Amino acid sequence: MPTNQTAVEERISSTPGIKQFEPKFMKIGVLTAALQELTPREIRDADPDRAVEEWLEYARDLGADYIELSAALHPTEADVPQEAMLDPVANTLDLRKPFNSSRANRVLAAMKKYNIGLSDVAYFDNMLHEDPKIRKKKHDFMIRVMDAAVMLGVDAVCGFVGRNQSLDMDQNLDDFRENFVPLLKAAGDRGLVYRVEQCPMPGWTTGDNWHNNIGYTPGLWTALHQIAEQAGVGNNFRIHYDPSHAILMGQDTRSIFQYLRDSGYPFLIGGFHVKGQVIDSRGVAAWGYGGQTVLRGDRKDGKPASNPAHQARAWIKQTVLAEHELPGTARHDPLAYLQNRSVDWLDHQLAARELLDLKDRGDASGGRARVSACANSGQEPAAARSQGIDRFRARHRPSRGLHVRAPARSSGGAGNSNPRHRPRGLPLVVGHARPLSPRRTRRFTEQPNRNQVIHRRGHREGKQKSEFSVTRQLVLGK
């Protein structure tokens, strides 16, 4: 006698117009900028590729499929003092020395050993810097990132466009045409796509500008793509969409995707960063979505503060009204989803499938063959994952703030031996949350919410660190 489930399946298959639901699952990955000091700097400076090896092992321990490999100018080469940065320099991939075949083979061997693939190589910096010498240094570094991406078998790099602070926004479009398009051509020559994350980067300058990455919104995405298309490199320009940045600017994902479809650009989203964001209604009430414009302490007498650590206060523009959080942790603010003050993750997924041209490109055959041939260190998958989680708990306390990011295109990846079998689809990547300012720390501890009390602290001891712990607490009678 057939079971009830069998009978239901038979009715579905025999009913015209009804199709069995066949989900396509995301692959899980980790953005290496999430824990910049996973390998201490004094170790990775002396042995640069050890940081990549340890990240691959760490991703395996977490049961992930991929890492999104972060590169950056070394702190000794960066134009911004480390004290002025909100986060430490995330140069997991250290390119001070040439990334030659020997180094590439070492990384590829580790990928095979740990059964982890690369989704892309990421370098987030201002590619339109107003100083020609600084700009050239950044462009030269991006070319090195592209070359490393090719040697590691990935098909995309991820980063920003940036903004020339000496020009207005219309002039920045001309600057993009003259100085950024050559980077797109360089990517095309190497068979790569340049995916632009749309964070406005308000804290990049102590000045009044909020939008310091001109690729921040759909109207500009399409304008930039048109310029790239006119130069014959439109196929090498895509957007790496992060819904948390949309929330930061008062937008919602479905409306953005609908705009792209209505404008004829449903193909433009080439990847996703999935990161939580919760808008603080009190911060918006005080300052609006333009953020805190005065009294930050990052400027004095019309110039950037002489103390680089004070320049980091430029980020108060953003943190006064919003904080990155784990997706789904806005439970302490029950109206956030209804008022578009946090990401509606279910509708984000539905809108993407409904409105965007998302093609299941799977894995590049070379990368997949290379990675799927490895074993799980001779252990059964479940045992290996259990031991990995134990090592994770021992090495990194759960007090560290994490958010989730997800690129949509990848090469390389875990084979079918992965205990959480996932069909081909979009890979997820995990990243880190920005720390709270001391003032916001006081607000969270002094004015608890009725559903949950969140204690956070952000502190600076030479290097910026971020910690938070969450304690559930019922506040009765309030």
Q: Is the pLDDT of residue 346 over 90?
A: no
Strand partners, 123: 159
Alpha-helical regions (H) of 278-437? 281-287, 308-311, 316-319, 345-355, 365-372, 381-395
Most confident of 357-371, 373-387, 450-464: 357-371
Q: Taking 50 as the threshold, does the pLDDT of residue 437 lie above it?
A: no
- CATH class assigned to 22-435: alpha beta
The structure's pTM equals: 0.74
Calculate mean pLDDT across residues 376-405.
33
Q: How far is CA 363 from CA 118, 246, 408, in A?
A: 10, 29, 11
Q: Which two tokens stand for residue 198?
A: 């749309």
Query: In this model, does residue 461 exceed pLDDT 60?
Result: no
As annotated, the residues of the chain forming the CATH 3.20.20.150 domain(s) are 22-435
What integer pLDDT is reported at residue 13 of this predicted model?
A: 63
Contact indicator for 466, 400 with CB cutoff of 8 Å: yes
3-class SS string, 215-231: CCCHHHHHHHHHHHHHC
Quickly tell me which residue has 């994350």 as its tokens: 197
pLDDT of residue 79: 87
- Give yes or no for a contact between 38 and 424, defined as CB atoms under 8 angstroms apart: no
CA dihedral 467, 470, 471, 472 (to 10 degrees): 170
Beta-strand pair 156-159/193-197: parallel
Give the model confidence (pLDDT) of 130-151 as tens digits: 999 999 999 999 999 999 999 9
Query: Which candidate, 462, 399, 398, places its Cα nearest to that of 89?
Result: 462
How far is Cα of residue 310 from the mean position of the Cα atoms in its chain? 26
Band of pLDDT at residue 88, cut at 50, 70 and 90:
low
Owner of token pair 């993009």: 176
pLDDT above 50 (res 171): yes
| Paired residues of 465 in beta bridges | 459
Stronger pLDDT, 63 or 221, i.e. the higher one: 221
Percent share of the chain, pLDDT over 70: 67
Query: Bigger pLDDT: 176 or 392?
Result: 176
pLDDT band at 172 (very low <50, low <70, confident <90, very high): very high
Lowest model confidence (mean pLDDT) among 168-182, 346-360, 444-458: 444-458
Q: Which residue has the higher pLDDT, 21 or 246?
A: 246
For the record, the structure tokens of 87 come out as: 């986060």
Alpha helices in 84-124 (DSSP H): 101-114
For position 2, what pLDDT does the model report?
55
What's the number of CA atoms in the CB half-sphere (13 Å) around residue 177? 12
Average pLDDT, the chain: 76
Check pLDDT > 90 for residue 23: no
| Greater model confidence, 284 or 417 | 284
Task: Give the Cα separation of 471 and 410 in Å (integer).
Answer: 37
Highest mean pLDDT out of 1-10, 291-300, 361-370, 384-393: 291-300
